[in-house]
Amino acid sequence: MVADSAGLRGALAGTRVVEWSAGRPGAYAGKLLRGLGADVVLLESPGARERAFTPGPVPAAAAQLDARIRFLHGGKQSVLFDPADAASRESALALIGAADILVMDQELRDAEAAGMSPEALHERFPNLVIVAITLAGLQGEARYWRYSDLIAQSIGGIAYATPSRVPDPAQYPPLKPGGYQADYTCGLHAASGALLGLQLRRRTNTGQVIDVSAQAMIASFVRMDMAYRTYAGVDGLNISSMDRTAPNGKFSTVWGLVPCKDGYWAFQASEQYQWAGLMRVMGNPEWAAAPHLQDPLERFLYWDDEIEPRVVAWSMTQTKLDVFHAAQANDVPVFPCLTVEELLVDEQQVARGFFVELPAGDSHNVVKVPGAVVHLEKTPWQPSFEPPAVGQHTAEAAARWGLVAGEVRA
Protein backbone atom coordinates (compact mmCIF):
# COMPACT_ATOMS: atom_id res chain seq x y z
CA MET A 1 0.00 0.00 0.00
CA VAL A 2 1.06 3.56 -0.67
CA ALA A 3 0.61 6.19 2.02
CA ASP A 4 -1.11 9.41 0.99
CA SER A 5 0.28 12.87 1.72
CA ALA A 6 -1.45 12.97 5.10
CA GLY A 7 -0.08 9.59 6.16
CA LEU A 8 -3.14 7.38 5.69
CA ARG A 9 -3.03 4.11 3.83
CA GLY A 10 -5.98 3.00 1.80
CA ALA A 11 -7.46 2.11 -1.55
CA LEU A 12 -7.50 5.79 -2.56
CA ALA A 13 -4.06 6.68 -1.21
CA GLY A 14 -2.60 9.47 -3.32
CA THR A 15 -6.00 10.58 -4.62
CA ARG A 16 -6.73 14.27 -4.17
CA VAL A 17 -10.28 15.40 -3.44
CA VAL A 18 -11.66 18.91 -3.05
CA GLU A 19 -14.96 19.05 -1.21
CA TRP A 20 -17.12 22.16 -1.61
CA SER A 21 -20.11 21.22 0.49
CA ALA A 22 -23.00 23.19 1.86
CA GLY A 23 -24.54 20.34 3.83
CA ARG A 24 -24.49 16.65 4.66
CA PRO A 25 -24.58 15.08 1.16
CA GLY A 26 -21.24 16.47 0.00
CA ALA A 27 -19.74 16.17 3.46
CA TYR A 28 -20.68 12.50 3.71
CA ALA A 29 -19.29 11.77 0.24
CA GLY A 30 -16.03 13.42 1.28
CA LYS A 31 -16.00 11.42 4.49
CA LEU A 32 -16.39 8.13 2.62
CA LEU A 33 -13.56 8.99 0.23
CA ARG A 34 -11.38 10.11 3.14
CA GLY A 35 -11.98 6.83 4.96
CA LEU A 36 -10.66 5.00 1.88
CA GLY A 37 -7.42 6.98 2.07
CA ALA A 38 -8.08 9.99 -0.15
CA ASP A 39 -6.55 13.35 0.76
CA VAL A 40 -9.60 15.60 1.18
CA VAL A 41 -9.42 19.39 1.23
CA LEU A 42 -12.59 21.07 2.47
CA LEU A 43 -13.44 24.52 1.14
CA GLU A 44 -15.49 26.30 3.75
CA SER A 45 -16.37 29.68 5.16
CA PRO A 46 -16.63 30.56 8.88
CA GLY A 47 -20.43 30.67 8.53
CA ALA A 48 -20.75 27.24 6.89
CA ARG A 49 -24.22 25.80 7.47
CA GLU A 50 -23.06 22.49 8.91
CA ARG A 51 -20.80 24.25 11.39
CA ALA A 52 -23.42 26.76 12.51
CA PHE A 53 -26.52 24.58 12.82
CA THR A 54 -27.19 23.66 16.46
CA PRO A 55 -30.33 21.56 17.05
CA GLY A 56 -31.73 20.70 20.44
CA PRO A 57 -31.22 22.18 23.91
CA VAL A 58 -27.89 23.36 25.20
CA PRO A 59 -25.56 21.73 26.25
CA ALA A 60 -26.84 18.65 24.41
CA ALA A 61 -26.85 20.71 21.21
CA ALA A 62 -23.13 21.43 21.48
CA ALA A 63 -22.30 17.75 21.98
CA GLN A 64 -24.58 16.76 19.10
CA LEU A 65 -23.02 19.32 16.77
CA ASP A 66 -19.51 18.33 17.83
CA ALA A 67 -20.24 14.64 17.19
CA ARG A 68 -21.68 15.38 13.74
CA ILE A 69 -18.73 17.55 12.75
CA ARG A 70 -16.32 14.86 13.92
CA PHE A 71 -18.25 12.21 12.03
CA LEU A 72 -18.48 14.16 8.77
CA HIS A 73 -15.23 16.16 8.69
CA GLY A 74 -12.73 14.11 10.69
CA GLY A 75 -9.36 13.87 8.93
CA LYS A 76 -10.09 16.50 6.29
CA GLN A 77 -8.03 19.63 5.62
CA SER A 78 -9.93 22.92 5.95
CA VAL A 79 -9.21 25.88 3.67
CA LEU A 80 -10.97 29.23 4.00
CA PHE A 81 -13.00 30.09 0.93
CA ASP A 82 -15.13 33.12 0.12
CA PRO A 83 -16.80 32.67 -3.30
CA ALA A 84 -17.50 36.42 -3.45
CA ASP A 85 -13.80 37.31 -3.19
CA ALA A 86 -11.81 37.12 -6.44
CA ALA A 87 -8.49 36.25 -4.78
CA SER A 88 -10.11 33.54 -2.66
CA ARG A 89 -11.80 32.12 -5.76
CA GLU A 90 -8.52 31.89 -7.64
CA SER A 91 -6.89 30.17 -4.69
CA ALA A 92 -9.72 27.65 -4.57
CA LEU A 93 -9.52 27.10 -8.32
CA ALA A 94 -5.81 26.37 -8.00
CA LEU A 95 -6.61 23.60 -5.52
CA ILE A 96 -9.43 22.31 -7.69
CA GLY A 97 -7.13 22.23 -10.69
CA ALA A 98 -4.64 20.11 -8.75
CA ALA A 99 -7.31 17.63 -7.58
CA ASP A 100 -8.52 14.38 -9.07
CA ILE A 101 -12.09 14.76 -7.80
CA LEU A 102 -14.32 17.68 -6.86
CA VAL A 103 -17.41 16.95 -4.78
CA MET A 104 -19.90 19.81 -4.57
CA ASP A 105 -23.44 20.12 -3.24
CA GLN A 106 -23.77 23.88 -3.59
CA GLU A 107 -27.00 25.34 -4.89
CA LEU A 108 -26.56 25.69 -8.64
CA ARG A 109 -27.51 29.38 -8.68
CA ASP A 110 -24.85 30.13 -6.03
CA ALA A 111 -22.21 28.16 -7.95
CA GLU A 112 -23.07 30.02 -11.16
CA ALA A 113 -22.85 33.38 -9.38
CA ALA A 114 -19.28 32.51 -8.39
CA GLY A 115 -18.45 31.38 -11.94
CA MET A 116 -17.96 27.86 -10.56
CA SER A 117 -20.88 25.89 -11.96
CA PRO A 118 -20.17 22.25 -12.86
CA GLU A 119 -20.28 23.19 -16.54
CA ALA A 120 -17.83 26.10 -16.12
CA LEU A 121 -15.45 24.01 -14.02
CA HIS A 122 -15.54 21.16 -16.53
CA GLU A 123 -14.67 23.56 -19.33
CA ARG A 124 -11.73 24.92 -17.33
CA PHE A 125 -10.56 21.53 -16.00
CA PRO A 126 -11.58 18.91 -18.60
CA ASN A 127 -9.72 16.07 -16.86
CA LEU A 128 -11.34 16.70 -13.45
CA VAL A 129 -14.02 14.37 -12.05
CA ILE A 130 -16.79 16.72 -10.88
CA VAL A 131 -19.54 15.23 -8.72
CA ALA A 132 -22.46 17.66 -8.47
CA ILE A 133 -25.21 16.90 -5.95
CA THR A 134 -28.43 18.88 -6.38
CA LEU A 135 -32.07 18.51 -5.45
CA ALA A 136 -33.40 17.63 -8.90
CA GLY A 137 -30.41 17.35 -11.25
CA LEU A 138 -28.67 19.77 -13.60
CA GLN A 139 -31.40 19.91 -16.26
CA GLY A 140 -34.76 21.67 -16.44
CA GLU A 141 -36.17 24.53 -14.39
CA ALA A 142 -36.02 22.50 -11.18
CA ARG A 143 -32.21 22.59 -11.31
CA TYR A 144 -32.39 25.85 -9.34
CA TRP A 145 -34.62 24.56 -6.56
CA ARG A 146 -33.14 24.77 -3.08
CA TYR A 147 -32.16 21.48 -1.50
CA SER A 148 -33.17 20.01 1.83
CA ASP A 149 -33.57 16.42 3.00
CA LEU A 150 -37.29 16.95 3.66
CA ILE A 151 -37.88 18.44 0.20
CA ALA A 152 -35.96 15.63 -1.50
CA GLN A 153 -38.01 12.95 0.27
CA SER A 154 -41.21 14.82 -0.55
CA ILE A 155 -40.66 15.32 -4.27
CA GLY A 156 -39.09 11.88 -4.61
CA GLY A 157 -42.39 10.19 -3.76
CA ILE A 158 -41.32 8.24 -0.69
CA ALA A 159 -43.23 10.39 1.81
CA TYR A 160 -46.58 9.40 0.29
CA ALA A 161 -45.45 5.79 -0.13
CA THR A 162 -44.33 5.45 3.50
CA PRO A 163 -47.68 5.10 5.37
CA SER A 164 -48.51 1.40 5.29
CA ARG A 165 -51.56 -0.72 6.08
CA VAL A 166 -53.98 2.17 5.67
CA PRO A 167 -57.24 1.58 3.78
CA ASP A 168 -57.25 4.88 1.88
CA PRO A 169 -53.84 6.51 1.49
CA ALA A 170 -55.40 9.69 0.10
CA GLN A 171 -56.92 10.31 3.54
CA TYR A 172 -53.56 10.18 5.32
CA PRO A 173 -50.79 12.79 5.27
CA PRO A 174 -47.38 11.90 3.82
CA LEU A 175 -44.91 10.49 6.32
CA LYS A 176 -41.20 11.28 6.18
CA PRO A 177 -38.93 8.29 6.96
CA GLY A 178 -36.74 8.80 10.01
CA GLY A 179 -33.28 10.31 9.84
CA TYR A 180 -31.68 12.03 6.86
CA GLN A 181 -32.24 9.38 4.21
CA ALA A 182 -31.76 11.72 1.25
CA ASP A 183 -28.67 13.44 2.65
CA TYR A 184 -26.66 10.35 3.44
CA THR A 185 -27.82 8.20 0.56
CA CYS A 186 -27.01 11.01 -1.86
CA GLY A 187 -23.55 11.19 -0.31
CA LEU A 188 -23.13 7.45 -0.82
CA HIS A 189 -24.21 7.68 -4.47
CA ALA A 190 -21.90 10.66 -4.97
CA ALA A 191 -18.91 8.78 -3.58
CA SER A 192 -19.72 5.79 -5.79
CA GLY A 193 -20.02 8.07 -8.82
CA ALA A 194 -16.69 9.66 -7.97
CA LEU A 195 -14.99 6.26 -7.95
CA LEU A 196 -16.46 5.40 -11.35
CA GLY A 197 -15.31 8.74 -12.75
CA LEU A 198 -11.87 8.19 -11.26
CA GLN A 199 -11.50 4.93 -13.18
CA LEU A 200 -12.06 6.71 -16.51
CA ARG A 201 -9.72 9.52 -15.54
CA ARG A 202 -6.94 7.07 -14.69
CA ARG A 203 -7.35 5.24 -17.99
CA THR A 204 -7.79 8.19 -20.34
CA ASN A 205 -7.01 11.35 -18.30
CA THR A 206 -10.56 12.42 -19.10
CA GLY A 207 -12.88 14.05 -16.59
CA GLN A 208 -16.64 14.41 -16.57
CA VAL A 209 -19.56 15.92 -14.68
CA ILE A 210 -21.37 13.32 -12.58
CA ASP A 211 -24.91 14.53 -11.95
CA VAL A 212 -26.45 13.24 -8.68
CA SER A 213 -30.15 14.06 -8.28
CA ALA A 214 -31.61 13.68 -4.80
CA GLN A 215 -35.11 13.46 -6.24
CA ALA A 216 -34.14 10.65 -8.62
CA MET A 217 -32.28 8.83 -5.87
CA ILE A 218 -35.31 8.89 -3.56
CA ALA A 219 -37.61 7.96 -6.46
CA SER A 220 -35.55 4.80 -6.96
CA PHE A 221 -36.78 3.66 -3.52
CA VAL A 222 -40.41 3.51 -4.66
CA ARG A 223 -39.85 1.13 -7.56
CA MET A 224 -42.77 -1.14 -6.68
CA ASP A 225 -45.22 1.75 -6.55
CA MET A 226 -44.06 2.86 -10.00
CA ALA A 227 -44.34 -0.65 -11.40
CA TYR A 228 -47.88 -1.13 -10.18
CA ARG A 229 -48.99 2.34 -11.20
CA THR A 230 -47.75 1.87 -14.75
CA TYR A 231 -48.65 -1.80 -15.23
CA ALA A 232 -51.29 -2.24 -17.97
CA GLY A 233 -54.79 -2.29 -16.55
CA VAL A 234 -53.81 -1.05 -13.08
CA ASP A 235 -54.57 2.60 -12.36
CA GLY A 236 -53.99 4.64 -9.22
CA LEU A 237 -52.64 1.82 -7.11
CA ASN A 238 -50.39 2.63 -4.14
CA ILE A 239 -49.03 -0.81 -3.34
CA SER A 240 -47.04 0.33 -0.29
CA SER A 241 -50.10 1.82 1.37
CA MET A 242 -52.51 -0.77 0.05
CA ASP A 243 -50.48 -3.61 1.59
CA ARG A 244 -51.99 -6.95 0.54
CA THR A 245 -55.12 -6.06 -1.40
CA ALA A 246 -54.76 -5.93 -5.20
CA PRO A 247 -57.34 -5.52 -7.99
CA ASN A 248 -57.10 -9.10 -9.26
CA GLY A 249 -56.39 -10.66 -5.88
CA LYS A 250 -53.14 -12.28 -7.05
CA PHE A 251 -50.44 -9.69 -6.44
CA SER A 252 -49.94 -10.00 -2.69
CA THR A 253 -49.18 -12.63 -0.10
CA VAL A 254 -48.95 -13.11 3.65
CA TRP A 255 -46.24 -10.91 5.10
CA GLY A 256 -45.87 -8.04 7.53
CA LEU A 257 -44.93 -6.86 11.01
CA VAL A 258 -46.31 -8.70 14.03
CA PRO A 259 -46.33 -7.34 17.61
CA CYS A 260 -44.96 -9.49 20.41
CA LYS A 261 -44.02 -9.20 24.10
CA ASP A 262 -41.03 -6.91 23.51
CA GLY A 263 -41.59 -5.25 20.14
CA TYR A 264 -42.18 -6.57 16.63
CA TRP A 265 -40.91 -9.20 14.24
CA ALA A 266 -41.04 -9.10 10.44
CA PHE A 267 -41.89 -12.09 8.30
CA GLN A 268 -42.83 -13.26 4.83
CA ALA A 269 -44.62 -16.51 4.02
CA SER A 270 -45.13 -16.29 0.28
CA GLU A 271 -44.00 -19.87 -0.33
CA GLN A 272 -45.94 -22.88 0.92
CA TYR A 273 -42.94 -24.27 2.83
CA GLN A 274 -42.54 -20.91 4.59
CA TRP A 275 -46.17 -20.94 5.70
CA ALA A 276 -45.86 -24.53 6.86
CA GLY A 277 -42.70 -23.62 8.80
CA LEU A 278 -44.42 -20.68 10.49
CA MET A 279 -47.31 -22.94 11.51
CA ARG A 280 -44.81 -25.45 12.98
CA VAL A 281 -43.27 -22.65 15.02
CA MET A 282 -46.77 -21.88 16.33
CA GLY A 283 -47.36 -25.53 17.23
CA ASN A 284 -49.46 -26.44 14.17
CA PRO A 285 -52.74 -24.89 15.39
CA GLU A 286 -55.95 -26.58 14.26
CA TRP A 287 -57.33 -23.50 12.55
CA ALA A 288 -54.40 -23.52 10.06
CA ALA A 289 -55.69 -26.78 8.56
CA ALA A 290 -58.90 -25.16 7.25
CA PRO A 291 -59.30 -25.86 3.49
CA HIS A 292 -59.68 -22.20 2.54
CA LEU A 293 -56.26 -21.41 4.06
CA GLN A 294 -54.27 -23.87 1.98
CA ASP A 295 -53.86 -21.87 -1.25
CA PRO A 296 -50.99 -19.35 -0.88
CA LEU A 297 -52.48 -17.10 -3.58
CA GLU A 298 -55.76 -16.90 -1.67
CA ARG A 299 -54.51 -17.06 1.91
CA PHE A 300 -53.75 -13.34 2.12
CA LEU A 301 -57.47 -12.60 1.61
CA TYR A 302 -58.11 -13.99 5.08
CA TRP A 303 -55.17 -12.34 6.81
CA ASP A 304 -56.79 -9.25 8.30
CA ASP A 305 -59.94 -10.83 9.72
CA GLU A 306 -58.99 -14.42 10.41
CA ILE A 307 -55.26 -15.14 10.44
CA GLU A 308 -53.63 -12.04 11.89
CA PRO A 309 -55.62 -11.94 15.15
CA ARG A 310 -54.62 -15.55 15.87
CA VAL A 311 -50.97 -15.00 14.99
CA VAL A 312 -50.87 -11.88 17.17
CA ALA A 313 -52.52 -13.66 20.11
CA TRP A 314 -49.81 -16.33 19.98
CA SER A 315 -47.03 -13.82 19.31
CA MET A 316 -47.87 -11.77 22.40
CA THR A 317 -46.69 -14.73 24.48
CA GLN A 318 -43.29 -14.67 22.74
CA THR A 319 -40.27 -12.38 22.51
CA LYS A 320 -39.02 -11.37 19.10
CA LEU A 321 -35.81 -13.36 19.58
CA ASP A 322 -37.83 -16.44 20.57
CA VAL A 323 -39.76 -16.19 17.30
CA PHE A 324 -36.63 -15.39 15.31
CA HIS A 325 -34.62 -18.41 16.46
CA ALA A 326 -37.54 -20.83 16.15
CA ALA A 327 -38.43 -19.54 12.68
CA GLN A 328 -34.85 -19.71 11.44
CA ALA A 329 -34.71 -23.36 12.49
CA ASN A 330 -37.80 -23.95 10.33
CA ASP A 331 -36.58 -22.08 7.21
CA VAL A 332 -39.00 -19.18 7.67
CA PRO A 333 -37.74 -15.66 6.83
CA VAL A 334 -38.44 -14.03 10.20
CA PHE A 335 -36.30 -11.29 11.68
CA PRO A 336 -36.60 -9.13 14.78
CA CYS A 337 -37.31 -5.42 14.31
CA LEU A 338 -34.44 -3.89 16.24
CA THR A 339 -34.57 -0.58 18.03
CA VAL A 340 -31.53 1.67 17.68
CA GLU A 341 -30.47 0.66 21.20
CA GLU A 342 -30.71 -3.01 20.27
CA LEU A 343 -28.85 -2.48 17.01
CA LEU A 344 -25.93 -0.91 18.85
CA VAL A 345 -25.38 -4.14 20.81
CA ASP A 346 -26.46 -6.57 18.08
CA GLU A 347 -24.16 -9.59 18.14
CA GLN A 348 -23.60 -9.57 14.38
CA GLN A 349 -22.59 -5.92 14.27
CA VAL A 350 -20.35 -6.34 17.30
CA ALA A 351 -18.67 -9.36 15.67
CA ARG A 352 -18.15 -7.35 12.50
CA GLY A 353 -16.82 -4.33 14.37
CA PHE A 354 -19.27 -2.07 12.56
CA PHE A 355 -19.75 0.62 15.17
CA VAL A 356 -16.87 2.82 16.24
CA GLU A 357 -16.57 5.28 19.09
CA LEU A 358 -15.76 8.96 18.85
CA PRO A 359 -15.46 11.67 21.49
CA ALA A 360 -18.25 14.24 21.54
CA GLY A 361 -18.45 17.55 23.32
CA ASP A 362 -15.64 16.85 25.78
CA SER A 363 -13.34 14.05 26.83
CA HIS A 364 -16.04 12.58 29.10
CA ASN A 365 -18.54 11.95 26.29
CA VAL A 366 -18.17 9.09 23.84
CA VAL A 367 -20.77 8.20 21.21
CA LYS A 368 -21.04 5.30 18.78
CA VAL A 369 -21.35 5.96 15.06
CA PRO A 370 -21.47 3.74 11.97
CA GLY A 371 -18.14 2.54 10.65
CA ALA A 372 -17.24 0.79 7.40
CA VAL A 373 -20.12 -0.79 5.49
CA VAL A 374 -17.71 -2.34 2.97
CA HIS A 375 -14.71 -4.24 4.33
CA LEU A 376 -11.59 -4.11 2.17
CA GLU A 377 -9.13 -6.75 3.30
CA LYS A 378 -5.99 -5.26 1.75
CA THR A 379 -6.80 -1.56 2.06
CA PRO A 380 -9.18 -1.22 5.01
CA TRP A 381 -11.29 1.81 5.77
CA GLN A 382 -9.55 4.12 8.22
CA PRO A 383 -11.67 6.02 10.75
CA SER A 384 -10.59 9.57 11.53
CA PHE A 385 -12.63 11.75 13.83
CA GLU A 386 -10.39 14.72 14.54
CA PRO A 387 -12.07 17.58 12.64
CA PRO A 388 -10.10 20.59 11.42
CA ALA A 389 -10.83 24.09 12.62
CA VAL A 390 -12.34 26.28 9.92
CA GLY A 391 -9.45 27.42 7.70
CA GLN A 392 -6.86 25.51 9.72
CA HIS A 393 -4.93 24.35 6.64
CA THR A 394 -5.30 27.40 4.40
CA ALA A 395 -1.64 28.38 4.57
CA GLU A 396 -0.21 24.89 4.07
CA ALA A 397 -2.54 23.58 1.37
CA ALA A 398 -0.37 24.88 -1.47
CA ALA A 399 2.79 23.20 -0.18
CA ARG A 400 1.04 19.92 0.53
CA TRP A 401 -0.25 19.69 -3.01
CA GLY A 402 2.87 21.01 -4.67
CA LEU A 403 1.38 24.31 -5.80
CA VAL A 404 3.44 27.46 -6.27
CA ALA A 405 3.67 29.49 -3.10
CA GLY A 406 0.98 32.15 -3.04
CA GLU A 407 -1.45 30.28 -5.26
CA VAL A 408 -3.55 29.57 -2.20
CA ARG A 409 -4.15 32.62 -0.06
CA ALA A 410 -5.32 32.83 3.53
Domain boundaries, the chain: 16-220+351-400, 253-342
Nearest to 8 by CA among 95, 97, 76, 80: 76
Using DSSP's 3-state secondary structure scheme, residue 198 falls into: helix
CATH superfamily of domain region 253-342: formyl-coa transferase, domain 3 (3.30.1540.10)
Which residues of the chain register pLDDT less than 70? 1-8, 48-64, 164-170, 224, 227-252, 361-364, 404-410
The per-residue pLDDT for 46 is 74
Q: Say how far apart CA 149 and CA 359 lie, in whole Å.
A: 26
Which tens digit of pLDDT belongs to each residue from 357-399? 887 766 567 888 898 888 888 888 888 888 888 888 988 887 8
Using DSSP's 3-state secondary structure scheme, residue 17 falls into: strand
Q: Give me the architecture of the 16-220+351-400 domain, per CATH.
A: 3-Layer(aba) Sandwich (3.40)
Distance linking the first and last C-alpha atoms of the chain: 33
The per-residue pLDDT for 410 is 39
The per-residue pLDDT for 64 is 67
Bridge partners for 260 per DSSP: 263
Q: Say how far apart CA 261 and CA 324 lie, in whole Å.
A: 13
The per-residue pLDDT for 239 is 45
Q: Does 16-220+351-400 match 253-342 in CATH topology?
A: no
Bridge partners for 362 per DSSP: 360
Which tens digit of pLDDT belongs to each residue from 199-218? 999 999 999 999 999 999 99
The per-residue pLDDT for 68 is 84
Q: Say how far apart CA 369 and CA 348 lie, in whole Å.
A: 16
174-183 — which CB contacts under 8 Å span 24+ positions? Answer: 176/150, 177/153, 180/24, 180/149, 181/149, 181/153, 181/218, 182/25, 182/149, 182/152, 182/153, 182/156, 182/214, 182/217, 182/218, 183/23, 183/24, 183/25, 183/28, 183/149, 183/152
Instruction: Sort 32 into a burial class: Cβ within 10 Å, 0-12 / 13-18 / 19+.
Output: buried
Q: Say how far apart CA 7 and CA 340 lie, in whole Å.
A: 34
The per-residue pLDDT for 108 is 94
The per-residue pLDDT for 1 is 37
Bridge partners for 266 per DSSP: 257, 335
Cα dist from 75 to 37, 117, 166, whole Å: 10, 27, 46
Q: Residues of 7-26 as b/e, b for ≥16 C-beta within 10 angstroms? A: ebebbbbebbbbbbbbbbbb
Cα dist from 26 to 82, 190, 280, 318, whole Å: 18, 8, 50, 44
Total-model pTM: 0.85
The per-residue pLDDT for 50 is 66
Q: Say how far apart CA 96 and CA 367 lie, in whole Å.
A: 34
Nearest to 128 by CA among 90, 93, 102: 102
Residue 250 has φ and ψ, to the nearest 5°, of: -125, 0
The per-residue pLDDT for 337 is 95
